[in-house]
Amino acid sequence: MKSLRKLRPAPGLELQEVAPPAAPAPGEVLLDVEWTGVCGTDLHIDEWTSSYHFLAAALPVAVGHEFSGRVAACGAGVSGLAAGQLVAVRPSVVCGSCAACLAGEPDGCVTRRGIGVLRDGGFAAQVLVPARNCVSIPAGVDAEVAALAEPLTVSHEAVRTGGVRAGDRVLVLGPGNIGQGIALFARAAGASQVVVAGHGDAARLAVLRRMGFEDLVDFAEQGVDEGLAPFLAQGKFDVVIEATGAAAVVGLALRVLKTHGVLVITGIHAAPVAIDLTALLRQHQQIRGSYRAPEQDWPEVVAFMRTHQDTLRHMITHRVAIERAHEGFALARNRQATKVMVRPGEALA
C-alpha cells in the first residue's frame, strides 16, 4: 500500500510502497482509512520546523492525524466496534500506566504518543489504532466530514477555554480550518458578534462567508487599524482567539482586548513572543493556552457534526488522491485551501 512518510530528520515527506499493517493486537483495531486531512502539523513536519524535532527518534513514520476510517478487523478484547463501522480517531494515545492514567484521568497522561507523529498515522490505506481511540460516527455523517472531527475538537476547546458566553463579542485571528471552527463554536455559544480576520486570506474568508459569517477582515487589503475600526467603534472585544501561530498578532490581540478580557492562544508558535506584562496586569487581561480537547468533549463535537454537516462541508475545499498529496500540501501551505482531504485508499472518481 502507499504511505506518505517522514523518513529522516530533515525537510520533506516521501510517498512509499509499504507492507500493510499486521493483524491487530489485543485492544487494537485495523482501519481502512477513508479520508485524511492535511493539517498545519503535517506542514510543520514536512518543513521540519523546530517545534517538531522531538519526533526524530520515531522515524520513519507515516504522518496524518486527522482521519476517518472503517473498521476492518478487531483485536482480542475489543467490544463495541463492528466491521464496517465508520469512526473518527482521537490521535493522542495515552500510556495507561502513569499516575494520571491510573487515576482515571487520561487527559493528564505525561507519556502520550501522537498517531501520525510518534506512531503511524492516516496517510496510508490502512492503519492500526487503539480501540479506545476510535470514536463512532453516527449514520448519515459523511466520511470526509468525519475526518474533520479532530480539528473541530481543537476549535471547540479554544472556545471553551475562552469562556465565550451569550452576548460576547469575539475576534478570531486566523481564518484557516481551526479559526473557522472557532467561529462556528463561538456562534453556537451565543456570541453576539464574531469577527474573523486574516492576512492575504481571500479564499478562506470566502469559505467563512458561505458559512454565514459577514464580519470578515483581510488585513492585506485594509490594514489592521482600518480593518478593525468599525468593530472597535463598538468597544473592544470580550474574547480574542489567536489561531495563526504568527507572533506579530499577539500584541494586536491584547491591544483590541477589553479590560478583564481573555486572549486564547491556539496557534503553534515556533519562538518565544514578547508581551507587555505591565499593560496586561493593569487591564486585568488573561492569556490562556488551548491545545487538545479532553476526551469527554469528542461526543459533543460529533453531535455538532451531525446537526451542522451542511455547513461543515464548506470547509473541505480540495480533495486529492494520495498520489497527489504533495499538491494538496502546497495548496494548504499557500492558503489557497481551507481543508485539503486526501484519499489514501481507493482512487478518486
Task: Show which residues are catalytic.
Answer: 41, 44
75, 67 in Cβ contact below 8 A? no
Question: Residue 182 and residue 249: Cα distance in Å, rounded?
Answer: 17
Neighbours of 186 (CB within 10 A): 26
The size of the chain, in residues, is 349
Question: Residue 299 and residue 35: Cα distance in Å, rounded?
Answer: 20
The torsion angles phi and psi of 260, rounded to 5 degrees, stand at 70, 15
Write the DSSP symbol of residue 209: H
C-alpha cell recorded at residue 111: 507519556
Of 140, 150, 12, the C-alpha closest to 68 is 150
128, 120 in Cβ contact below 8 A? yes
Of 107, 136, 123, the C-alpha closest to 305 is 136
Question: Residue 76 and residue 116: Cα distance in Å, rounded?
Answer: 24
Find where cell 491545545 sits. 291
Are β-strands 237-242 and 169-173 bridged in parallel, bridged antiparallel, or unpaired?
parallel
What lies within 8 Å, CB to CB, of 304 at 6+ separation is 152, 156, 185, 188
Question: Residue 252 and residue 147: Cα distance in Å, rounded?
Answer: 33
Of 20, 14, 33, the C-alpha closest to 344 is 33
